[in-house]
Amino acid sequence: MADGSKRPVCAVVGVGPGNGEALARRFSPLTGTPSRLMARRTELTAKLAGELPSAKSYACDVTEAASVEAAFAATAPPISGDVDALIYNAGSGVWGNVEEVKAGGSRALVGASNTLGLFLSGQEVIAAMRKKGQGAIIVVGATGLGGAARRGAAAFAQSKMAQRRALRRIHGPAISGPRESMSP
């Protein structure tokens, strides 16, 4: 706890059925951490906020800068305190080999949610983390991609690798030190 009186705040961006829901369920009830659950569609986040102590639901379309800014502004001090941990789970995929994927679809869908959304979300939390000298940004990647794209995942793999490296290289050491975990 930064000031000794407030519990750390965790924002989970990209809460859907699967990883996002599991992360929300893990952080909120077990640790008592106030959780800010953000997703483009709020049916699930609203349901989870009703079930989980200290969780709240916010609409957040990571492909739109104004939506990301509004979601984080709604959680900002004095409403709930700065976000101490950002878990970025939002993402999408365009599937096919390099010669099959059309650039427009790849750039619009994959680039916007997988990389631009992370960039925008990071902008909303990094200044406060630096000021406090602590914080964590966790990016949920794709298992099995490793350093090479699976067949049919050309555009998706590029965007996930960009996610994995971008904030670590630019901001990691200034916040909590670079860490990278890759699943087999």
Q: Is 19 exposed, middle or buried (0-12, 13-18, 19+ CB in 10 A)?
A: middle
Place of tokens 């490296």: 165
The whole model's pTM is what?
A: 0.80
Give the single-character DSSP code of 116: I
The amino acid at 180: E
In the chain, the amino acid numbered 145 is: L
- At 91 the pLDDT is 80
Q: Which tokens in the block code for residue 132?
A: 């406090």
Task: Categorize the per-residue pLDDT at 178 as very low, low, confident or very high, splitting at 50, 70 and 90.
Answer: very low
Q: What is the distance between the alpha carbons of residues 71 and 74, in angstroms, rounded to a whole number?
A: 5
- Give the pLDDT of residue 11: 94
pLDDT band per the 50, 70, 90 thresholds, residue 116 = confident
User: How many Cβ atoms sit within 10 Å of the Cβ of residue 1?
Assistant: 9
pLDDT, tens digit, 9 for 90 and up, residues 51-94: 998 899 999 999 999 999 999 999 876 656 789 899 999 887 77
Assign 59 to helix, strand or coil.
Answer: strand
Beta strands in 6-157 (DSSP E): 9-13, 35-39, 55-59, 83-88, 136-139
pLDDT higher than 70, residue 131: yes
Q: Pull the structure tokens for residue 99.
A: 């010669």
